[in-house]
């Protein structure tokens, strides 16, 4: 029985949650996400554009697309781009900015945006991603928006080294497309980055940290959040080097509860981080009764404030961001 006891101890150590640390980070932050994580990345960018200087959106649509309606989220905002009114969305966005619910929209003009939509994506059609492009074009110059619509990818995170067949879906929603989405996105947002080879390993460390402390009014699960998240720290950043922070939001059915650390380990960000001194924060959503697929809230299951600075998930992730920067 000794071997069994040792095994349980090792499992416990592997799943141990530490306190999220603080690092020597630049003040500006960028975000990205896939699917529901793409919508969340967009919401975080728009609501905190004073701090967030760029966003990479993989298979996502425009801000406040669902307008608090779950049916719209699963129909219009995934499959019916002709029913999406950018004029109405901009009216809401301006009203939210005027009310201080999101940062001033003028901040968006200094940022950069990367939009990826696979030509074979059957879950969120390209027309919806093009509506996102239309939304951003009202605030950001065309030279700062990069779109990629010509990769024959199904719904998933495109990589050049891991995942299922590019044109098919798989349970991890990571597709091996001979296309390094994480690098292409981050290189557009920052410029001048070193590209990792397709065979590059990961020399930093992936830590599991306690998310519970970042939710003050109730347990994390109340807001569809896992008790733990991941953070990837390259060795140089762990040693005190000046680094940059990027927040990556997983998609539905892709959180720790469903696939463990696969998104955090294999989506392609960590190899870019090692070469270019990025810390990658991977917050984790999870299932609750009103969110059975563990999606991020982009239709209002946590309340009407969901796309603003007052949204419970956005507030929690903001606190994680501030902790990593040594400000919380």
Q: Return the structure tokens found at 93.
A: 């966005």
* 6 falls within a domain: no
Q: How many domains does the chain have?
A: 1
pLDDT of residue 15: 53
Domain, as residue range, for 171 = 22-324
- Taking the C-alpha atoms of residue 292 and residue 177, their distance in angstroms, rounded to an integer, is 29
pLDDT of residue 11: 37
pLDDT of residue 2: 38
- pLDDT (tens, 9 = 90+) of the chain, 328 residues, equals 434 333 333 334 345 689 999 999 999 999 999 999 999 999 999 999 999 999 999 999 999 999 999 999 999 999 999 999 999 999 999 999 999 999 999 999 999 999 999 999 999 999 999 999 999 999 999 999 999 999 999 999 999 999 999 999 999 999 999 999 999 999 999 999 999 999 999 999 999 999 999 999 999 999 999 999 999 999 999 999 999 999 999 999 999 999 999 999 999 999 999 999 999 999 999 999 999 999 999 999 999 999 999 999 999 999 999 999 999 9
* 249 falls within a domain: yes
* 5 falls within a domain: no
Contact 104, 49 (CB under 8 A): yes
Return phi, psi of residue 157, to 5°: -85, 120
Burial of 149 (0-12, 13-18, 19+ CB in 10 A): middle
* 88 falls within a domain: yes
- Taking the C-alpha atoms of residue 65 and residue 45, their distance in angstroms, rounded to an integer, is 15
Residues acting as catalytic residues = 35, 121, 155
* 8 falls within a domain: no
pLDDT of residue 17: 83
* 16 falls within a domain: no
pLDDT of residue 119: 98
* 37 falls within a domain: yes
* 17 falls within a domain: no
């Amino acid at each position: 029985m000794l071997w069994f006891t040792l095994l349980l101890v090792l499992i416990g150590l592997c799943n141990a949650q530490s306190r999220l640390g603080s690092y020597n980070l630049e003040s500006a932050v960028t975000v990205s996400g896939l699917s529901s994580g793409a919508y969340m990345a967009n919401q975080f960018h728009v609501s905190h554009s004073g701090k967030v200087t760029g966003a990479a959106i993989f298979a996502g649509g425009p801000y406040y697309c669902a307008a608090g309606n779950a049916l719209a989220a699963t129909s219009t905002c995934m499959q019916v781009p002709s029913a999406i009114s950018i004029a109405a969305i901009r009216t809401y966005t301006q009203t939210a900015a005027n009310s201080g619910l999101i940062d001033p929209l003028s901040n968006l003009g200094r940022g950069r945006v990367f939009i990826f939509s696979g030509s074979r994506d059957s879950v969120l059609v390209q027309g919806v991603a093009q509506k996102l492009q239309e939304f951003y074009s009202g605030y950001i110059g065309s030279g700062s928006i990069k779109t990629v619509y010509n990769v024959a990818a199904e719904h998933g995170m495109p990589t050049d080294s891991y995942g299922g067949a590019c044109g098919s879906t798989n349970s991890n929603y990571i597709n091996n497309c001979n296309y390094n989405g994480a690098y292409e996105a981050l290189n557009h947002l920052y410029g001048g980055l070193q590209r990792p080879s397709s065979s590059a390993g990961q020399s930093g460390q992936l830590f599991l940290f306690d998310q519970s402390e970042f939710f003050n009014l109730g347990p994390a699960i109340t807001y569809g959040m896992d008790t733990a998240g991941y953070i990837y720290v390259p060795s140089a950043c762990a040693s005190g080097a000046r680094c940059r922070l990027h927040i990556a939001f997983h998609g539905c059915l892709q959180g720790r509860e469903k696939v463990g650390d696969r998104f955090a380990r294999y989506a392609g960000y960590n190899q870019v981080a090692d070469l270019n001194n990025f810390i990658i924060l991977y917050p984790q959503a999870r299932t609750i009764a009103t969110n059975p697929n563990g999606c991020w809230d982009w239709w209002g299951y946590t309340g009407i404030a969901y796309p603003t600075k007052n949204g419970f998930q956005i507030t929690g992730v903001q606190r994680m961001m501030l902790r990593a920067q040594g400000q919380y």
